[in-house]
């Protein structure tokens, strides 16, 4: 499963905002590792630098010095619509007769092709195959005179997931779609403000968490401070917070819906222990996203928690491809075993999810070779039976193992002694909110808004 994107907007009078944006998107690197970019302004024109690679590969001290100004917008990307190419790197610049903006987007539109054709008919030119550029042009070319009117116009047309950072030469605007699919929060920084995809980015900047942007809300920051400029009515009273933000995407030190993600994941593990108890010697988590859940399983079950797998945190993206022999080592590039800890032990292995079922067999094989006597796999998410249409490059339905096999068949395929997936109700018990607050389409096939077709991420490629 691939991540979404990270957005950080900074308004900091008297300070160089691009440096704050750099550290903000560096804290959000887990959300996307394909490209990074920063736009900045000192109150006149907007300058942008984008490049393929990790944040620290893209920006050096000189790059940030060149991006002068007290307003900045940063973005780190994983491609969900449009290929991994420099033309699709964000923030996007869009200019009309009346305004110039830079825009960063986290999410995915389900009506991107229709909107793109509308804008082409109006004579708008496109430089990329990303749906994010569509949003930027839609807002800058909106038939409106105020930002509230522009956002209102765009929201009437946009269908899908979009948490946006928008920068003018004088303001920062944050927008969250009416379903609230992707997170977006606000923090105070000295005499300024920060808008970020996750609260962990605020912590790295020394900013104070203020609140989350509400679903359907647009907030604006300028010399007069922060104000809410638009709130789209939610007549259906249905939200679509992505539940995988709780399970996997967000960093464990971030706040979602007022709760620490680490605590929610511990609750998932504890609920798993209630639903699928087993006689075992140790509990381990697949690092890092399942560590908190493994701790929760251990505390609820009374089975000791230990580290059994060590993750190479520097495996990341590389431009050096391994030869065939190294490629065959597969999962060993990412994980290494502690065989003395697991030898002759009955082991509970907690993981966050199973998507295609291609990586898990390698982990199981690694544990078997390390001497594990029994392997009891526990997944702190229900079986994934449907793809995501709102900003997660998960897999096609035909590629999802739980869409094509029963739990018993998956257990046999993975060669584990037992397998347990957290139930839908158990997952909801573990986190704040109720069923109508979350999108659980990947587990149920029922989405908060109608999805007619399975979309190709390259649908806008020429």
Q: Which residues form the catalytic set?
A: 5
Give the burial string for 90-113 (b: 16+ CB within 10 Å, else e).
bbbbbeeeebebbbbbbbbbbebe
Q: Which residues contact 298 (CB under 8 A, 6 or more apart)?
A: 269, 283, 304, 305
* Rounded distance between C-alpha atoms, residue 262 and residue 431, angstroms: 11
* Rounded distance between C-alpha atoms, residue 224 and residue 37, angstroms: 27
Cross-strand pairs, 305: 283
Q: How far is CA 72 from CA 177, 183, 224, 437, 438, in A?
A: 22, 19, 17, 32, 31
């Amino acid at each position: 499963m691939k991540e979404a994107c990270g957005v950080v907007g900074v308004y900091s009078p008297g300070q160089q905002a691009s440096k704050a944006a750099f550290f903000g998107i560096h804290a959000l690197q887990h959300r996307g590792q394909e490209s990074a970019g920063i736009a900045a302004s000192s109150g006149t024109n907007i300058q942008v630098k984008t490049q393929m690679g990790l944040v620290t590969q893209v920006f050096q001290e000189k790059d940030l010095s060149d991006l002068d100004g007290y307003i900045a917008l940063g973005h780190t990307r994983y491609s969900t619509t449009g290929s991994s190419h420099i033309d699709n790197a964000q923030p996007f610049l869009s200019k009309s007769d009346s305004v110039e903006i830079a825009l960063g987007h986290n999410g995915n539109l389900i009506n991107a092709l229709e909107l793109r054709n509308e804008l082409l008919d109006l004579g708008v030119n496109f430089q990329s195959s990303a749906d994010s550029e569509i949003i930027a042009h839609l807002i800058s070319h909106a038939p409106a005179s105020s930002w509230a009117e522009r956002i209102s116009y765009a929201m009437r047309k946009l269908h899908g997931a979009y948490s946006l950072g928008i920068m003018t030469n004088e303001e920062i605007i944050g927008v969250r779609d009416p379903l609230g699919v992707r997170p977006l929060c606000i923090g105070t920084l000295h005499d300024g403000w920060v808008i970020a995809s996750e609260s962990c980015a605020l912590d790295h900047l020394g900013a104070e968490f203020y609140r989350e942007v509400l679903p359907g809300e647009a907030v604006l920051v300028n010399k007069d401070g922060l104000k809410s400029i638009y709130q789209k009515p939610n007549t259906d009273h249905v939200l679509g917070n992505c539940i995988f933000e709780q399970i996997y995407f967000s960093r464990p030190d971030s706040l979602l819906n007022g709760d620490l993600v680490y605590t929610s994941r511990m609750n998932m593990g504890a609920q798993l222990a209630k639903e699928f108890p087993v006689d075992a010697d140790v509990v381990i988590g697949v690092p890092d996203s399942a560590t908190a859940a493994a701790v929760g399983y251990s505390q609820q079950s009374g089975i000791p928690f230990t580290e059994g797998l060590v993750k190479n945190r520097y495996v990341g993206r590389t431009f050096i491809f391994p030869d065939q022999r190294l490629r065959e080592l597969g999962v060993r590039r990412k994980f290494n075993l502690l065989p003395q800890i697991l030898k002759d032990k009955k082991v509970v292995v907690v993981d966050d999810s199973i998507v295609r079922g291609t990586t898990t067999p390698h982990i199981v094989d690694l544990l078997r070779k390390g001497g594990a006597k029994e392997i009891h796999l526990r997944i702190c998410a229900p079986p994934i039976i449907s793809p995501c249409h709102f900003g997660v490059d998960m897999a096609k339905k035909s590629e999802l193992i739980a869409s094509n096999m029963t739990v018993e068949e998956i257990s046999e395929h993975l060669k584990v002694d037992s397998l347990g997936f957290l139930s839908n109700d158990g997952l909801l018990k573990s986190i704040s909110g109720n069923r109508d607050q979350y999108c659980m389409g990947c587990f149920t096939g029922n989405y908060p808004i109608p999805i007619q077709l399975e979309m190709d991420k390259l649908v806008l490629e020429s």
